Amino acid sequence: MKAIEITKAGEMQIVEREMPGPASGEILLKLKYVGFCGSDLSTYLGKNALVQYPRIPGHEISAVIEKIGTQVPDSFTIGMAATVVPYTNCGQCTSCKKKRFNACRYNETLGVQRDGAMAEYIVVPWQKVLMDKALSNIQLALVEPMTVGFHAIDNGKVTDVDIVMVLGCGMIGSGAIVRAKLRGATVIAVDIDDSKLDIAKKLGATYTINSKDQDLHAELEKITLGNGPTVVIEAAGSPITYKSAIEEVAFAGRVVCIGYAGSDIDFTTKLWVQKELEIMGSRNANLSDFDAVIKYLKNSQVDESILISKTVSPEEAPVAMKKWSEAPEKFLKILVEFR
């Protein structure tokens, strides 16, 4: 079968891999669309310490069930449209024992610690397959990337009395904006790209700030009447935005960190104490987040195509990845379509 492989940093190519078959408890999926995400870009750039080369990327999945192994519940039928929960969990570490499976110490995500879904077919355990016939093939590919932002909002305990600032309006930040809006919060979207801010507005952001052209602190002072946002979602992974999150969040506020910064960051630690901040990480997503995103996509009046920057064939994927690596701020989501 045809697959897309990152052979080494800066090199992607089409390769032939052996066609997989489902063992007991497994399902063979035929891929329809697979999205490139930030971790795939990091792998391509040689910046993902969790990856060994060569690696097939991809864990944002839209597929149909092609073949079913033994010991799979009868509710799974051939031809059904599906997406996938791309994480593993050991069931024994401290996170798993607290049922926070998304933060499993030994998690292996498709396309990162193990080969992913950028191929014509993939085999997965039936427990990781989610079906919903009401979603289109493209919508199914958007489920997983949106769950990460949904999960961050859940970690931040956001309610309708909150003012939420989302730093970074890529795909994950977009998910956070949507979830915060669904919770009834006032949302401030911050980015350095006006096109992403336009999308953020369509997704429900009440205010937008281009921090490259505008004074972030001054704008927040006006919007929040000098108090600062009560919740900050860091979804950019930049030393600048990490510092801004701590400096701008309100006293007794919450900061939720999703992005991986490329270098260590020096903080003014007294702000942690003086503001009595809750600062937490947010990793992957739980099944409840997948359910919430699926419900949103089924009922939303927003055209989700605004989230897709480009759709390419497998043969076009290497060029698309190269262009993304050269101008990451210009892309929101690249989908690879398998026929």
Tens-digit pLDDT profile for residues 163-210: 999 999 999 999 999 999 999 999 999 999 999 999 999 999 999 999
Tell how far CA 207 is from the center of its chain: 22
Q: Where are the domains of the chain?
A: 2-131+308-337, 147-281
Model confidence, pTM: 0.95
Rg for the chain, CA atoms, rounded: 20
pLDDT in tens, the chain (339 residues): 999 999 999 999 999 999 999 999 999 999 999 999 988 999 999 988 889 999 999 999 999 999 999 999 999 999 999 999 999 999 999 999 999 999 999 999 999 999 999 999 999 999 999 999 999 999 999 999 999 999 999 999 999 999 999 999 999 999 999 999 999 999 999 999 999 999 999 999 999 999 999 999 999 999 999 999 999 999 999 999 999 999 999 999 999 999 888 778 887 789 999 999 999 999 999 999 999 999 999 999 899 999 999 999 999 999 999 999 999 888 999 999 998
Whole-number pLDDT of residue 193: 94
Q: Does domain 2-131+308-337 have CATH number 3.90.180.10?
A: yes
Question: What's the rounded Cα separation, in Å, for the pair 209 and 226?
Answer: 16
- Write the CB contacts of 119 (distance below 8 Å, at least 6 apart in sequence): 1, 2, 3, 4, 17, 31, 56, 58, 338
Q: What is the pLDDT of residue 267?
A: 79
Query: Within the chain, how many helices (H) and strands (E) appear?
Result: 10, 15
- Residues with Cβ within 8 Å of 152's Cβ and at least 6 positions away in sequence, in order, are 172, 175, 176, 179, 233, 235, 256, 258, 282
CA 43-203-253 angle, to 5 degrees, is: 80
- What is the third-level CATH fold of 147-281? Rossmann fold (3.40.50)
Tokens of 169: 């309006």
With residue 147 as reference, give the H or E element that holds it. helix 137-155
Q: What is the pLDDT of residue 85?
A: 97
**Residues 83 and 144: beta-carbon distance below 8 Å:** yes
Measured distance CA(31)–CA(167) in Å, rounded: 32
| Helix H or strand E segment including 11 | strand 11-16
